[in-house]
């Protein structure tokens, strides 16, 4: 008589798994539900977690719990509400039902939500940790943080610094910072040329253009030269463009982008070369800016 194998214990799906199954059925995915193609690391981590936890929680002994380290998003209780473990960071996969059974739970000032943008692109959205606030902050270290979640990451990474929030809004940076300067252009007559200049500043900055050897601000009264600028692409940034339509031989020269606020002024230059025979000038670095400062203090 052949031995009858023991029946394996059956674990009921976690609420987050049931939700994933319902979402899968409702979206009519091109693969069987539960059989996702090319399972990424976060899925492997989730299934490994279920296997390690077993079917149920044992008696809680907090004194036996290891203390997690390096948790940039703070701490959360494990699925058994016994030990502390690292919370999930902004952008990491999470349990949509706000539990901690499969992917993990979001940290301080974060919520687990679906990216509806993925749905519009025809993709299956993944629940990810998203920051609850978009308010820019100034830290006691004099650095500007895009929002509280980025501030918290640095706070937990360097606890000895005793970092605090100085005030809402960015830190006053002093002189503007040129993030993306204009670059040299080699062209032939009759073609159009566009120089760009992207600036970060708080207080906000204005952008002006000049050509070396000319006293007036561009475009002046020249109809084939135009200047535009707008806010962005990020907060407290402004971008300006200088466009020369139908380039002429007389347009050859050095053009400068000036960024100015009530604290100070910086400039970056670019050359319009009509010969096209010389070697390109190296890509401008921080040393090419006039009175520029280090950019490491900004996110």
pLDDT at 280 over 70: no
DSSP per-residue letters across 244-265: ESS--GGG-EEEEEEEE-SS-E
> What pLDDT score was predicted for residue 190?
83
- Give the separation between CA 240 and CA 199, rounded to whole angstroms: 8
In this prediction, residues 22-50 reach a mean pLDDT of: 45
Length of the chain: 299
- Give the separation between CA 210 and CA 183, rounded to whole angstroms: 15
> What pLDDT score was predicted for residue 44?
47
In this prediction, residues 224-233 reach a mean pLDDT of: 92
DSSP per-residue letters across the chain: -PPPPPPPP-PPPPHHHHHHHHHHHHHT-SS-TT--SS--HHHHHHHHHHHHH-SS-----GGGPPPP---TT-EEE-TTSSSEEEPBPTTSB--TTS--SSS--B-TTEEEEE-HHHHHTTPPP-EEEEES----EEETTS-EESSHHHHHHHHHH-GGG---EEEESPPP-SS-EEEE----EE--TT--EEEEEEEE-SS--EEEEEETT--SPSSTT-TTEEEEEEE-SSTTEEEEEEEESS--GGG-EEEEEEEE-SS-EEEEEEEEESS--SPPPPPP-GGGSBS---STTB-
- Give the separation between CA 39 and CA 54, rounded to whole angstroms: 21
pLDDT in tens, 170-192: 888 778 889 999 999 987 778 89
* CA atoms within 13 A of residue 225's CA, in its CB half-sphere: 18
- Give the separation between CA 88 and CA 48, rounded to whole angstroms: 17
Determine which of 11-20, 239-248, 270-279 has the lowest per-residue pLDDT on average.
11-20
Question: What strands lie across the sheet with 185-186, from one edge to the other?
Answer: 185-186, 265-273, 253-260, 206-211
pLDDT in tens, 41-99: 444 455 455 555 555 788 889 899 999 998 999 999 998 889 999 999 999 999 988 77
Cis bond upstream, residue 219 (ω within 30): yes
pLDDT at 169 over 90: no
**Residue 129 forms beta bridges with which residues?**
112
pTM confidence score: 0.50
Q: Using 50, 70 and 90 to split pLDDT, how confident is the model at 225?
A: very high
Who has greater pLDDT, 276 or 232? 232
Determine which of 138-147, 199-208, 262-271, 274-283 has the lowest per-residue pLDDT on average.
274-283
Q: Using 50, 70 and 90 to split pLDDT, how confident is the model at 115?
A: confident
> What pLDDT score was predicted for residue 49?
55
């Amino acid at each position: 008589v052949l031995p009858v194998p023991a029946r394996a214990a059956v674990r009921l799906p976690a609420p987050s798994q049931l939700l994933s199954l319902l979402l899968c059925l409702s979206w009519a995915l091109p693969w069987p539900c539960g059989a996702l193609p090319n399972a990424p690391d976060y899925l492997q981590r989730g299934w490994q977690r279920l296997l390690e936890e077993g079917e149920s929680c044992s008696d809680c002994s907090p004194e036996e719990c290891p203390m997690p380290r390096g948790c940039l998003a703070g701490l959360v209780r494990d699925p058994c509400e016994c030990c502390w473990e690292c919370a999930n960071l902004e952008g990491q996969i999470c349990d949509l039902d706000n539990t901690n059974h499969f992917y993990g739970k979001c940290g301080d000032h974060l919520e687990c939500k679906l990216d509806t943008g993925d749905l519009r692109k025809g993709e299956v959205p993944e629940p990810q940790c998203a920051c609850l606030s978009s308010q820019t902050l100034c830290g006691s270290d004099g650095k500007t943080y895009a929002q509280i979640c980025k501030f918290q990451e640095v706070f937990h990474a360097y606890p000895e610094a005793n970092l605090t929030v100085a005030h809402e809004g960015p830190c006053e940076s002093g002189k503007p910072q040129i993030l993306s300067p204009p670059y040299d252009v080699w062209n032939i007559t009759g073609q159009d040329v566009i120089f760009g200049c992207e600036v970060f500043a708080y207080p906000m900055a204005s952008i002006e253009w000049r050509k070396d050897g000319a006293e007036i601000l561009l475009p002046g009264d020249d109809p084939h030269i135009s200047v535009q600028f707008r806010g962005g692409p990020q907060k407290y940034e402004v971008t300006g463009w200088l466009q020369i339509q139908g380039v002429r031989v007389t347009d050859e020269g050095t053009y400068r982008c000036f960024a100015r606020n009530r604290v100070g002024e910086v400039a970056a230059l670019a050359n319009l070369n009509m010969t096209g025979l010389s070697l390109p000038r190296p890509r401008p670095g921080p040393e090419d800016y006039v009175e520029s400062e280090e950019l490491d203090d900004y996110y």
